Amino acid sequence: MSRRLRRLVILAEGEFRFHAAKTALGVIRYGPDPVLAVIDSTRAGRNASDLLGPAFDVPVVATLGEVLPLGPTALLIGIAPTGGRLPAAFRSIILQAIGAGLDVLSGLHTFVSDDPEFAAAAREAGVELIDYRKPPERMETSMGRLHRPGSRVILTVGTDCAIGKMSVALELRNAARHAGLSSSFVATGQTGIMIEGWGVAIDRVVADFVQGTCEWMCEEGEARGDWVFVEGQGSLDHPAYSSVTLGLIHGFTPHAMVLVHKPGLAEHDFDHLPERSFPLRPLSEMIRVHEEMAGLVAPSRVVAVALNTSLLDEEAARREIDRTAAETGLPCGDPFRFGADPLLAELRARVDALPWVSRTEVTA
Question: Which residues are at the interface with a copy of itself (CB under 8 A)?
Answer: 82-84, 109, 139-146, 202-208, 210-212, 236-244, 246-247, 250-251, 270-273, 276, 278, 281, 289, 292-293, 296-297
Shortest spacing between CB 112 and a copy of itself, in angstroms: 16
**Whole-angstrom Cα distance, residue 340 to residue 320?**
17
Q: Is 14 left (phi over 0), alpha (psi -120 to 50) or beta?
A: left
Strands across the sheet with 35-39, in order? 60-61, 35-39, 8-11, 74-77, 103-106, 129-131
Measured between alpha carbons, how far is 253 from 82 in angstroms, rounded to an integer?
A: 27
Select 103 or 131, whichever has its Cβ closest to a copy of itself: 131
Identify which of residues 66 and 291 has a Cβ nearer to a copy of itself in the complex: 291
Task: State in angstroms the smallest separation of the CB of 17 from a copy of itself.
Answer: 21
Residue 138 C-beta: closest distance to a copy of itself, Å: 11
Q: Considering the complex, what minimum distance in angstroms separates the CB of residue 146 from a copy of itself?
A: 7
| Cβ proximity of 218 and 230 under 8 Å | yes
- Please state the closest distance from residue 225 (CB atom) to a copy of itself, in A: 23
**Nearest CA to 134 among 97, 91, 84, 95?**
84
Q: Judged by CB, which is closer to a copy of itself: 92, or 141?
A: 141
Residue 38 or 201 having the CB closest to a copy of itself: 201
- Buried b vs exposed e over 321-348: b needs ≥16 C-beta within 10 Å? beebbeebebbbbbbbbbebbebbebbb
Residue 5 or 143 with smaller CB distance to a copy of itself: 143
